[in-house]
Amino acid sequence: MGSKVDRRIIKSQNLIQSTFLTMLIEEGFDEITVKKITEKADIGRKTFYLHYADKFDLLDTMVKRQLEELEKICEWKKEKGFIEGSVIWFNYFEENRAFFEALFRSESTVSFRKQLLDFMKVQLSKKIGEINPEKDAEILLRFLSMAVLGIVESFVLNQLNSGTEKIAKQVGELLEQTIALASR
């Protein structure tokens, strides 16, 4: 039998995470301190430290949860082509824009970018078939992942003028074309 998590633990973690998310969106990661989180959540510092080592640990926990959601979406859309799959992918970022925007705007969230990049590389590697043996698959994966990460960041930060579906479809088309070229 699996061990049941105490509801008080879940309640405390949810309170800390929702408070952190609100502060992340309103103030930005760099301005947040554990003291500010505990004051705003009306909990003791000891309660915070029972669940998280520091604000970076809390951020990592929340990023992992987002990546788990993205993993579910990728699993669900794996039979779709790059264009339709990209639309689904970008819709997820649209729905969670505030969270991702706060992370992309912060100077201190390098680990988030690395985790998202690594996640993209894994997902793309699952979709890429045979490539020309004369080409280095790792370079292709890194190139595509960096390109998609850059577009996602620009999209989330409202630096692109097109709508979600148009951006997503173009990204999907570019992925298809680049992979087709690498297969030759």
Question: Tell me, what's the pLDDT at 75?
Answer: 87
pLDDT reading at 1 higher than 60: no
pLDDT classification of 77: cutoffs 50, 70, 90:
confident
Segment 37-53 mean pLDDT: 96
Residue 173 CA to chain centroid, in angstroms? 22
> Which residue is listed with tokens 């690395």?
114
Q: Which residue has the higher pLDDT, 150 or 5?
A: 150
Flag whether pLDDT at 2 surpasses 70.
no
Quick one: average pLDDT of 153-169?
Answer: 95
DSSP state of 167: H
pLDDT at residue number 3: 63
Residue 134 to residue 55: CA distance in whole angstroms = 45
For residues 95 and 18, the answer to whether their CB atoms sit within 8 Å is: no
Query: Taking the domain 63-183, which CATH number applies?
Result: 1.10.357.10
The Cα 94–Cα 127 span in angstroms is 23
CATH of 1-52 given 3.40.50.720, 1.10.10.60, 3.30.497.10, 1.10.10.10: 1.10.10.60
Q: List all residues 6 or more positions away from 176 whose beta carbon is below 8 Å from its beta carbon.
A: 81, 82, 83
If phi over 0 gives left and psi between -120 and 50 gives alpha, with beta otherwise, what is residue 42? left
Q: Where are the domains of the chain?
A: 1-52, 63-183
In this prediction, residue 135 carries a pLDDT of 79
End-to-end CA distance of the chain: 52
Tokens of residue 151, six digits? 């577009």
- Please state, for a pLDDT cut of 90, what percent of the chain lies above it: 67
H or E segment to which residue 43 belongs: none
Look up tokens 């970076």; give the residue.
56
- Phi and psi (nearest 5°) for 32? -80, 140
* CA–CA dist 41, 43 (Å, integer): 6
pLDDT at position 155 is 96
